[in-house]
Amino acid sequence: MSNQPYTKLAERAAGIEMLLLDVDGVMTDGLITLDNNGIESKSFHVRDGMGITLWNKAGKNTAIITGRNSSVVELRAQELGITCIRQGIENKLMEMTSLLPEFQITTDQVCYIGDDIPDLPVLEKVGLSVAVADSSPAIHHSVDWLTQNPGGRGAVREVIDFILQVQGHDLTTLYSCDQSQPIS
């Protein structure tokens, strides 16, 4: 399950208040599809969306920092209630550091999920660092946890479920409250 023993992961997860996500290779499988007109498409897993919805219902913060710009990311973030979206970011660590005061949290309260070398500076600074199962081996030595699920195939949900359960949240109770909101 992880690079660290369960107890150590649970300790790190206990104080997490923000989920910070890369997109390509984390929220998606990393494939970028362009049609003949240059229109980009990406695939997002519905269970990851449900996880983010449960995370939000638990009163937690979610943010995206990605190196690419994509209107598809804006649309998916809007569907999931993610209002903090930073696209086209070359220096993810500087961007994360600049947004923390807005949420009144510290790096120790951030869980970052990444998949490749541009994520490394952030992974090395946050309270809980996670790489998806099919991430670049170049970052594996720097993370607390390597998920069982690959990017775009439930890895985000895997992390959310673990953190929320460690923090004492009942996922079915979170799901059942306020059914008026879209869930995935």
Give me the long-range contacts of 105-110 (CB less than 8 A, separation at least 24).
105/17, 105/18, 105/61, 108/15, 109/15, 109/16, 109/17, 109/18, 110/16, 110/17, 110/18, 110/20
Instruction: List the pLDDT tens digit at each of the 184 positions of the chain.
Output: 456 677 899 999 999 999 999 999 999 999 989 899 988 889 999 999 999 999 999 999 999 999 999 999 999 999 999 999 999 999 999 999 999 999 999 999 999 999 999 999 999 999 999 999 999 999 999 999 999 999 999 999 999 999 999 999 988 888 776 555 554 5
Residue 86, C-beta contacts closer than 8 angstroms, at least 6 positions apart: 63, 64, 65, 66, 95, 99
Residue corresponding to tokens 């923390």: 100
- Element at 156 (helix H, strand E): helix 155-166
For the entire predicted model, the pTM comes to 0.91
- Element at 128 (helix H, strand E): strand 128-131
97/94 Cα distance (integer angstroms): 5
- Beta-carbon count within 10 A of 159 CB: 26
